[in-house]
Structure 1
Amino acid sequence: MRSIDIKKYLTYFLLMASTGIIVLAGQAIGLKKEFIGAVPGMLLIILLALLAYSIKDIFPKFPLPAYASATIIGMIVSLEALPISKFFAPQIGVVEFMPICTPLLAFAGISVGNKIEQLKAMSWKIVIISLVVFTSIFFACALIAQTVLTLQGRI
């Protein structure tokens, strides 16, 4: 078990807060949603993300990456059976999902860009693997959608 580096978490907070401001500005401009009203929800999202990072730092052998921990923590605080959901769900629900995706995808692209030499080392094999993965995911999603829509009687 390790301790938490406060300076590192302050940097994380500042980065997440600046990203959060961009997300809320995009939400306000693109979706005509209130900026100030979504600030508490964005702060809660940031705090939950910092909690996920701290779990990963305190327990380095924890088997899940920080983003998976953040997802699980978010699901837990949103469970209607728990009294904390009455506080978290309305606050976080004000923050739209799609504006959050834009910076996340940009950061994912940057992280892949930093590993371009490793990707080059895989050469043509990465293309085949990518095509198999994308095709498999596409057909799996189509099968799930077909099953759900059939069960609902919509098709």
Structure 2
Amino acid sequence: MRSFDLKKYLIYFLLMSMAGVIVLTGQAIGMKKQFVGAIPGMFLIIALALLCFAVKDMFPKFPLPAYALSTIVGMIVSIQALPFAKIIAPEIGTVEFMPLCTPLLAFAGISVGDKIEQLKAMSWKIVIIAVVVFTTIFFACALIAQTVLTYQGVI
């Protein structure tokens, strides 16, 4: 178990807050949603993410990466049968999903940017993998959409 580094978490909080401002600005401009009204929800998202980073740092042998842990924590806090979900879920629900994806995808692209040499080493094989993954995801999404829309009686 490692010690808690307050300076590191203050930097994390600052960076996540800057990303949160980008998200809420994009939400206000693109979706005409209220900026100020979504601040508590963004703060809760940041707090949960920091909690997941702290758990991952304190238990480095924990088998899941921090982003997977944060996904599980997010699902748990939104289970409506739990008492705290009635408070947390509506607040987090004020933050729209699509504006949240924009900085996340940008950060993912930046994180891949320093691995260009590794991608070059894979050469043509990466193209085959990408085509298989994209095709599989496309058909899986189409199947899910078809099932849900059929079940709802839309089609």
Q: TM-score range by the shorter chain?
A: over 0.9
* Cα shift at 1:43: 0.5
**Is structure 2 residue 133 aligned with structure 1 residue 99?**
no
Which runs of 5 or more structure 1 residues have no equivalent in the other structure? none
SS of corresponding position for 2:64: coil
* Cα shift at 1:100: 0.5
- Relative to structure 1, the CA distance from residue 90 to residue 147 in structure 2 (aligned partners, 3 Å threshold; closer, same or farther) is closer
> 2:38 and 2:122 mapped to 1: Cα distance?
43
Q: Percent identity?
A: 76
SS of corresponding position for 1:3: coil
Tell me the TM-score normalised to structure 1 length. 0.94
> 1:143 and 1:39 mapped to 2: Cα distance?
36
* Cα shift at 1:115: 0.8
> 2:91 and 2:141 mapped to 1: Cα distance?
31
* Alignment map for 1:102-141 (pairs within 5 Å): 102-141=102-141
Which runs of 5 or more structure 2 residues have no equivalent in the other structure? none
> 1:124 and 1:79 mapped to 2: Cα distance?
43
> 2:31 and 2:147 mapped to 1: Cα distance?
32
Q: Indicate the RMSD between aligned Cα atoms, in angstroms.
A: 1.3
> 1:140 and 1:37 mapped to 2: Cα distance?
35
SS of corresponding position for 2:43: helix
> 2:72 and 2:22 mapped to 1: Cα distance?
25
Report the counterpart of residue 68 of structure 1 in structure 2: 68
Tell me the TM-score normalised to structure 2 length. 0.94
* Cα shift at 1:105: 0.6
* Cα shift at 1:151: 3.3
- State the one-letter code of the partner of 2:72: I
**Is structure 2 residue 21 aligned with structure 1 residue 21?**
yes
- State the one-letter code of the partner of 2:108: A
